[in-house]
Structures are given as structure tokens and as C-alpha cells.
């Protein structure tokens, strides 16, 4: 890619997605490359739209397509600030190839693109390491905050007593599986939490 110091290079790379009406889900960039995930491609990966998109992108640079993949996302407040404390939990990635990482600018999500075949095992390992089990590892709630069940129970109590007012709460950690096979399924991501 001729992107080093090239003004407007990213806009040139994303123009084919607009031209072919394909929405980009996640983006990661470096000094020499751009990685994207697509949640839906009209006609699937064997269709004319995907073929046309690839042809347009090949005019700009070298293209590699990897599928099927899944996105595993750790969601919570101040994710990047908590990374050092979460470090041991990421040993779950030891046996998993990470194809791409992306962090939200709002500091609420850290996403990992992995081969679809690795997703279920990875999600189960991360759940075990990041989400305290009831009655076990109660000290984890200090680090990671209340569980989704605790937040929902508190919200229901608050709603009952406050005429339906909702408290501002986010689940400390939620993992989602997204994408799956790109082959034309318009379904939204499946939740695994």
C-alpha cells in the first residue's frame, strides 16, 4: 500500500465500500495497512457485490479475505484503563489466532476478530476469567463492578420504587459473538452472555 504520508488515502480506500453499498463494521489501521470487518454483504461472499468490491479494492492495494470469523468484544467502562488488571484474563487468547483488534474511542469496548472455529471456546474462557461466579471470587466485583444480574436486579428495585426511573448502569463485562459467516446472512449478532 502507498499509504505512508499519503493525504486522502483512507478516503480512497473506503470509497469502494460506499460505491458498492457495503457497510464496514470495525476498522483497524496501521502505517501500512487497513483491516475491516463487514457484518453483511448483499448477495454474500459469492455474489456480484462482493466480487465488485474486491475488484475495486484490488485497484488500490493487495487484498486478503478471511472468513468465517467472529468478533469477541469485552464491554464495560474504562476498558483501556483496566487493561493491566485484566491482563491475566487474556491468557485465554494463548491458543487463539487474533486476526484484528479494535478499541472504541468511547473507552467502552475492546474487540477481537478471531476464526469462527475458536469463538465458542474463547468466549467460555473469557467468561470464566472475567465474570465472577456467584459465591466465588466476590473480590472480582471490586475490580470489574457488579454483574449484569446484579445491575438488572437493582434496576428493577429502583424502577419499582422510583416510578420507572432507570439507573445509569452498564454491564461490567459482556461478550458478544458477531459476524459468523459473512455469506449473506442479514441476521444481527448473536449474544452469548
Sign of the alpha-carbon torsion through 61, 66, 183, 71: negative
pLDDT at position 80, please?
Answer: 85
pLDDT at position 77, please?
Answer: 83
pLDDT at position 185, please?
Answer: 36
pLDDT 10s digits, 154-170 = 878 877 655 433 322 22
What cell numbers appear for 168 in the block? 445509569
Q: What is the 3-state secondary structure (H, E, C) of 26-56?
A: EEEECCCCEEEEECCCCCCCCCHHHHHHHHH
pLDDT at position 99, please?
Answer: 95
pLDDT at position 63, please?
Answer: 93
- Alpha carbon distance 70, 182 (integer Å): 10
pLDDT at position 146, please?
Answer: 65
Task: Name 5's Cβ contacts closer than 8 Å, sequence gap at least 6.
Answer: none
pLDDT at position 72, please?
Answer: 93
The three-class DSSP label of residue 59 is: coil
- Alpha carbon distance 177, 154 (integer Å): 27
What cell numbers appear for 11 in the block? 478516503
> From first to last of its 193 residues, what are the pLDDT tens digits of the chain?
566 677 888 899 999 999 999 999 999 988 788 999 998 899 999 999 999 999 999 999 899 999 899 999 988 888 888 888 888 888 889 989 999 999 988 888 899 999 999 999 999 888 888 876 655 544 444 455 666 677 778 878 877 655 433 322 222 222 222 223 233 333 333 333 3
pTM of the full structure: 0.66
Amino acid at each position: 500500500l502507498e499509504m505512508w504520508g499519503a493525504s486522502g488515502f483512507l478516503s480512497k480506500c473506503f470509497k469502494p465500500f460506499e460505491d458498492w453499498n457495503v457497510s464496514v463494521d470495525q476498522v483497524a489501521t496501521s502505517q501500512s495497512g487497513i483491516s475491516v470487518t463487514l457484518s453483511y454483504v448483499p448477495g454474500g461472499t459469492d455474489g456480484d457485490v462482493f466480487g465488485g468490491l474486491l475488484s475495486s479494492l484490488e485497484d488500490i492495494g493487495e487484498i486478503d479475505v478471511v472468513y468465517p470469523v467472529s468478533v469477541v468484544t469485552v464491554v464495560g467502562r474504562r476498558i483501556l484503563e483496566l487493561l493491566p488488571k485484566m491482563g491475566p484474563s487474556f491468557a485465554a487468547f494463548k491458543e487463539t489466532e487474533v486476526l484484528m483488534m479494535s478499541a472504541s474511542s468511547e473507552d467502552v469496548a475492546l474487540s477481537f476478530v478471531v476464526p469462527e472455529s475458536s469463538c465458542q471456546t474463547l468466549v467460555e474462557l473469557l467468561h470464566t476469567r472475567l465474570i465472577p461466579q456467584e459465591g466465588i471470587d466476590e473480590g472480582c466485583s471490586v475490580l470489574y463492578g457488579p454483574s449484569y444480574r446484579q445491575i438488572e436486579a437493582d434496576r428493577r428495585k429502583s424502577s419499582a420504587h422510583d416510578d420507572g426511573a432507570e439507573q445509569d448502569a452498564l454491564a461490567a463485562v459482556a461478550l458478544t459473538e458477531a459476524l459468523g459467516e459473512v455469506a449473506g446472512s442479514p441476521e444481527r449478532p448473536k449474544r452469548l452472555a
